[in-house]
Structure formats: C-alpha cells, structure tokens
C-alpha cells in the first residue's frame, strides 16, 4: 500500500496572486486587440493592392481590345476576307463588360470615375470610327479608306486612349502608395504598443513565476519524501512477490515429486500386494469349488471387489503420474487424456501434437501435460463448448502449446481474480520453464485460447541425460 498525499481543503488564492493573474490576462487581451486591429489594416491594404492590380489589368485589357480590333480591320482591308473581322465583332461587348467591372472597382474614387468616363468617351469614339470605316470600305473599297486616313488622325485618338490609361494607372498606384504609407505608420504604432504590452506581461509573468517556484519547491520536497517512502515500500513488495513466486514454483515441483513417489509406491507395493491377494483368493476358490460351493462363491465375489480395487488403484496412479508420460512420451499421454476427456464430456476434441519430445525431459513434459489437463478440466466445468482443439508445435521461439475451445469464453475480470488457482497454477508452471502463458479470446472472438510458450533452449528435441521412468523425483525441491 503506497503513501498518498491527502488533498488540502479548498482555499482562495492570495489577493496579490489574483491581481498578478488578472493583470497578466488583461495585458494579453489588450495585445490581442492590437494584433486584431493590425490584421484588419493589413487586410485593407491587401484588398487595395488587389483592387489596383485588377484595375491595371482591366485597363490594359481595354487597350489590347482596341488594338486587336484595329489590327483585325487592317487585315480585312488588305485581304478582303470577313474572317479577319472576328475580334471587331466581339470587342464591343467585351469592352462594355470591362467598363462595368471598372465602374464597380472605382466606385469609391470620384476622380477615377471621371477619368473612366473620359476613357469611355475616347474608346467608344474610336470604336465608332472603326465601324464607320468598315461601311466605307464595303461601299467604296480600299481607296476611300486611304483617303479617309489622310484627312483623319487615328494615331492621335490611340495616343489619347493610351495617355488616359496611363493617367488612371498612375492615380491608382498613388492611392496604393498612400494606403501603404498609412498602413506602415499604423503598423509601427502597433509594433511599439505590442512590445510595451509584451514587456509588461513578461514582467508580470516573472513575478508570478517566482511565487509559483517557491510553492513548487515546497511541494517537491514533500513529494520527494513520499517518493522515497514509496520506493522503499515498492521494493519490499517486489521482493515479497518474487519470494512468493519462487515459493509457488517450489511447491509445484515438490507436489510433482510427491505425486511421482506416491504413484510409484502405489504401483509397485500396493499393486504387488493386491496381485498376491488375488492369486491366493483364486487358489482357495478353486479348492473350495467342490467341497464348499457357498464359500467359493463368496470368495469369487471378494475377488471381483479386489479387481475393482485394482482398477481404482490404477486410476489413482494415472491421475498422480500418467504412466504413458514416462513410457510413451508427452504426445501419447496428451492424446490418451484427450480421448478420455472426449468420452466423459461428450465434447469433440481434436489433437495435433505429433512432434518429437524426449520423455526424459521430466520437468518439461509434466508441466505441459498439467497445463493441458487443467485447461480441459476448466472447459468441462465452465466452457459449455462443443469442440476443443489441442495443438503442440515447435517454431523459432520454442514450443507453443494451444488449447482452444468454442465455448462461452472467460470474462476479463475472472482472469484477474486472486482465487483463480487453476490459471495461476498454469502460469507458474510456464514460469518454472522460463516461458509464458496467456489466456485470450479464441478465433473470431469466440471461446477461449490458452497458449503456453516455452523457450527453445528449455525444449530440446533430444537430450543426452539419462533418467529413470519416474524422473520427476529429480525435480529441484
């Protein structure tokens, strides 16, 4: 159990700390308003720059439209082909659209609107002259056009248009320059104000930091003392846990040794005595068959009871230490136990354990057999399964034992219960071999999968050591 810091009763923040916090917050809010104002000014300047660029583009495009129209007419005059009149046919509508756009863009500048009106007059007059020249060409031919060009000064009209475009562009640039200068002045003021506000805020934060630092140092000293106490207690708990784990594994080893010893004594001594009794009863029964039939029948009943006792002894011995485990190996013992399980529980049990494991590895074989035994016992009691599979395979990590059922599964809280001795026992057996045991949901989240992984170093296929049939007695007690 760890030491914890009791929560202090709610106390109001000291007045000077409250004033410092409020002052810092107000300064930051003021700085935020200043930045917002500066951002709005920047947006206005950007909008003015964008509008100036659009006005310049529109004016340039108007000039291009007039020039294209004039050039198309010259091609028409020279070639006489109507295809050259394409730009002149669409130029009028496009020029009016540009005038409308410029009217909208320059709505806030009366002087520019006056310039725009004058530009409209010049361009419309120029376009009217171009249209009239087309009519003249169609009626009189190229000679009339040449005569008209001698008495008219079309060049001066284009120069006036260009001059008007230049005037409007220059005036727009002057407005942009004035706006930029005003923005720069506002920006300088905002920067100076922001620097002053930030300096005050930093000063307040430094003062507040000093106060917090003192409180933090006091709290750190208390937490350091508590941490030392917790570390000492945690070390004690870990040491105690390790001792209990070692003791648990030791008890498992001792339990298996005692089971092996008891199984041997029952098999050897009790088995020999029961066999001798059976032989004596058989001899006496044969002698009394003719002289005392009633006594012979009674002896035969006694011999039948004796045979039942022998069968009971065999089941007890097999439960304590399966003889197949020492005689035919782990795989045969698992297959035999699974067959018995399937017969008693009427649950289909499939096995895939056909690997070569030396049965003289007593610690390994008995641990894996007990894990299978405990898993199948739990399935019979709680799982309500319809099918079970037991697999034992070898991979690059070692031996992998899996017992999978399709039952109702096991709840997560049941895995953490301290009284789950069966699961704890299986885990300790895996730990005894340096391995791990996990319990998780089965395939597709249905049922339960018990998986034990034993490292390869502790699971060799062949061992060079020789041990007796009851090698479990050599387990470290």
- Give pLDDT, residue 453: 92
CA 132 to CA 127: how far, in whole Å?
9
- Give pLDDT, residue 139: 67
First CA to last CA across the chain, in angstroms?
32
> Which of these, 210, 235, 461, 240, lies nearest to 360 by C-alpha position?
461
For 220, 279, 284, 285, 302, the CA distances from 308, given in Å and listed in that order, are: 75, 15, 19, 18, 10
Run of H or E including 99: helix 86-105
Higher pLDDT, 13 or 44: 44
Token reading at 256: 């298996």
Residue 161 buriedness (CB in 10 A; 0-12 / 13-18 / 19+): buried
What mean pLDDT do residues 76-84 have? Answer: 73
CATH among 3.30.565.10, 3.40.1190.20, 1.10.274.10, 3.40.190.10 for 324-462: 3.30.565.10
Q: Which is it for the CA torsion 181, 185, 188, 194, positive or negative?
A: negative
Three-class secondary structure of residue 338 per DSSP: helix
- Give pLDDT, residue 409: 84
Residues in the chain: 477
The pLDDT tens digits for 351-405 are 998 887 766 677 888 888 889 989 998 898 888 899 999 999 988 888 999 999 9
In degrees rounded to 5, what are phi and psi of residue 307?
Answer: -65, -35
- Residue 432: count of CB within 10 angstroms of its CB: 21
Higher pLDDT, 241 or 30: 30
CA 375 to CA 404: how far, in whole Å?
9
Rg, Å, the chain Cα set: 52
The strand pairing partners of 403, in sequence order, are: 390, 450
Largest CA distance in the chain: 170
8 A C-beta contact, residue 405 and residue 383: yes
8 A C-beta contact, residue 196 and residue 83: no
The pLDDT tens digits for 283-310 are 888 888 888 888 878 888 887 888 888 7
CA 314 to CA 321: how far, in whole Å?
10
Three-class secondary structure of residue 436 per DSSP: strand
The strand pairing partners of 439, in sequence order, are: 450
The pLDDT tens digits for 40-73 are 777 777 777 787 778 888 888 877 877 877 777 7
CA 215 to CA 228: how far, in whole Å?
20
462: left (phi over 0), alpha (psi -120 to 50) or beta: beta
The strand pairing partners of 401, in sequence order, are: 392, 452
Q: What is the residue-wise DSSP string for 177-212?
A: HHHHHHHHHHHHHHHHHHHHHHHHHHHHHHHHHHHH
- Give pLDDT, residue 415: 64
Contacts with 208 (C-beta within 8 Å, 6 or more apart), sequence order: 17, 20, 21, 24
- Give pLDDT, residue 367: 87
- Give pLDDT, residue 391: 94
Most confident of 37-46, 227-236, 377-386, 420-429: 377-386
Among all chains, which residue has been given the structure tokens 């206005």? 44
> Which of these, 98, 85, 86, lies nearest to 124 by C-alpha position?
98
- Give pLDDT, residue 472: 37
- Give pLDDT, residue 359: 61
Annotate 389-417 with three-state secondary structure. Answer: EEEEEEECCEEEEEEEECCCCCCHHHHCC
CA 159 to CA 150: how far, in whole Å?
17
Mean pLDDT score of the chain, rounded to an integer?
76
Higher pLDDT, 306 or 147: 306
């Amino acid at each position: 159990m760890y030491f914890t810091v009791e929560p202090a009763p709610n106390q109001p923040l000291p007045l000077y700390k409250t004033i410092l916090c409020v002052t810092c917050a107000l300064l930051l809010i003021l700085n935020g308003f200043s930045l917002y104002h500066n951002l709005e000014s920047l947006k206005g300047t950007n909008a003015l720059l964008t509008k100036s660029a659009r006005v310049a583009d529109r004016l340039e495009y108007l000039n291009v439209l007039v020039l294209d129209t004039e050039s198309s007419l010259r091609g028409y005059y020279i070639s006489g082909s109507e295809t050259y009149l394409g730009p002149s046919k669409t130029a009028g509508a496009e020029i009016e659209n540009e005038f409308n756009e410029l009217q909208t863009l320059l709505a806030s500048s009366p002087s520019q609107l006056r310039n725009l009106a004058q530009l409209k007059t010049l361009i419309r007059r120029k376009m009217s002259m171009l249209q009239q020249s087309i009519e003249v060409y169609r009626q009189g031919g190229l000679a009339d056009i040449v005569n008209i060009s001698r008495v008219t000064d079309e060049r001066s009209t284009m120069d006036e248009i260009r001059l008007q475009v230049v005037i409007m562009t220059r005036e727009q640039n002057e407005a942009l320059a004035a706006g930029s200068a005003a923005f720069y002045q506002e920006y300088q003021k905002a920067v100076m104000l922001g620097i002053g506000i930030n300096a005050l805020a930093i000063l307040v934060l430094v003062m507040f930091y000093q106060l917090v630092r003192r409180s933090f140092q006091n709290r750190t000293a208390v937490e350091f003392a508590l941490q030392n106490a917790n570390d000492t207690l945690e070390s004690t708990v870990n040491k105690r846990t390790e001792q209990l784990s070692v003791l648990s594994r030791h008890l498992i080893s001792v339990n298996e040794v005692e089971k092996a010893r008891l199984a041997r004594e029952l098999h050897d001594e009790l088995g020999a005595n029961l066999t001798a009794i059976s032989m004596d009863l058989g001899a006496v029964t044969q002698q009394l068959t003719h002289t005392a039939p009633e006594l012979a029948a009674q002896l035969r009943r006694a011999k039948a009871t004796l045979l039942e006792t022998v069968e009971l002894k065999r089941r007890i011995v097999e439960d304590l230490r399966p003889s197949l485990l020492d005689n035919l190996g782990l795989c045969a013992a698992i297959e035999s136990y699974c067959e018995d399980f399937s017969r008693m529980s009427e649950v289909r049990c499939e096995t895939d354990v056909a690997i070569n494991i030396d049965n003289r590895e007593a610690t390994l074989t008995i641990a894996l057999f007990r894990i299978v035994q405990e898993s199948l016992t739990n399935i019979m009691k709680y799982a309500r399964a319809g099918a079970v599979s037991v697999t034992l395979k070898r991979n690059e990590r070692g031996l992998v034992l899996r017992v999978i059922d399709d039952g109702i599964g096991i709840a997560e809280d049941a895995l953490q219960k301290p009284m789950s001795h069966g699961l704890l026992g299986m885990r300790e057996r895996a730990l005894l071999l340096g391995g791990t045991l996990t319990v998780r949901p089965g395939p597709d989240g249905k049922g339960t999968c018990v998986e034990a992984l034993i490292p390869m170093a502790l699971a060799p296929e062949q061992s060079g050591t020789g041990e007796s049939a009851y090698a479990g007695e050599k387990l470290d007690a």
